[in-house]
């Protein structure tokens, strides 16, 4: 029982992960809504609504909620960018989309099943940091080892995180943090 509670505390809450999932899928949901591949108006409007909700909620989270959370100043020991994380996730659902765009309806419904499976894996594997919307908003993913010698995944708007640089981190859950930049009064 304690192990399950520890695992649950070691990751973002389900609503936060669902928010990031909706945002991660927003480019595809927009394409599905515009092209109306399934020919079902209710599904078309649902795709459009989830797309808009995911983008809006992410913007609210990043602009207003995240800066209000307690940030901890930490010193970077080493940092290396995880190039292509968002692109890999984006390709995992966009490539099958283009293959099925001209396919018969049964194949399109199979794509929807595939997308649901990817969504479940996204939630279970805590891949919310590999969000294409974050990349579009200028965030990069870094593996950062800190002074404590533990490794964290850090979402940062900085192009480079240098050794001995001080950054303010907000904990999203588990080993994932968002960099709010240098401590106030310090320049990068």
Q: Domain spans of the chain?
A: 2-179
Across 32-60, average pLDDT:
88
- Write down the pLDDT at residue 169: 92
Phi-psi region of 169 (alpha: psi -120 to 50; beta: other; left: phi over 0): beta
Distance between CA 96 and CA 146 in Å, rounded? 38
- Percent of the chain at pLDDT exceeding 90: 16
- Write down the pLDDT at residue 103: 77
Tens-digit pLDDT profile for residues 63-122? 888 888 888 898 999 898 887 776 777 777 777 777 777 778 778 788 778 888 888 887
The residues, any chain, with a CB within 8 Å of residue 44's CB and separated by 6 or more, are 32, 33, 36, 38
Angle value at C-alpha 158, between 141 and 176, nearest 5 degrees: 35
- pTM for this prediction: 0.75
Averaged pLDDT of the chain:
80
- Write down the pLDDT at residue 9: 41
Total residues belonging to the chain: 188
- Write down the pLDDT at residue 114: 83
Tens-digit pLDDT profile for residues 128-160? 777 888 888 888 989 999 877 688 889 999 999
């Amino acid at each position: 029982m304690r192990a399950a509670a520890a695992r649950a505390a070691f990751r973002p809450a389900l609503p936060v992960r669902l928010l990031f999932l909706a945002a991660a899928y927003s480019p595809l949901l927009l394409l599905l809504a515009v092209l109306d591949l399934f020919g079902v108006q209710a599904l078309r409007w649902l795709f459009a609504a989830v797309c808009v909700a995911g983008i809006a909620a992410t913007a609210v989270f990043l602009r207003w909620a995240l800066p209000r959370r307690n940030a901890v100043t930490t010193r970077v020991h080493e940092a290396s960018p995880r190039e292509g994380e968002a692109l890999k996730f984006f390709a995992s659902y966009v490539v099958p989309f283009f293959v099925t765009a001209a396919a018969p309806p049964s194949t399109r419904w199979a794509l929807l099943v595939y997308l649901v499976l990817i969504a479940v894996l996204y939630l279970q594997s805590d891949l919310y940091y590999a969000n294409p919307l974050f990349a579009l908003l200028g965030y990069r993913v870094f593996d950062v080892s800190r002074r404590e010698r533990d490794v964290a995944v850090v979402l940062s708007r900085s192009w480079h995180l240098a050794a001995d640089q001080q950054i303010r981190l907000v904990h999203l859950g588990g080993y994932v943090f968002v960099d709010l930049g240098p401590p106030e009064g310090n320049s990068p």
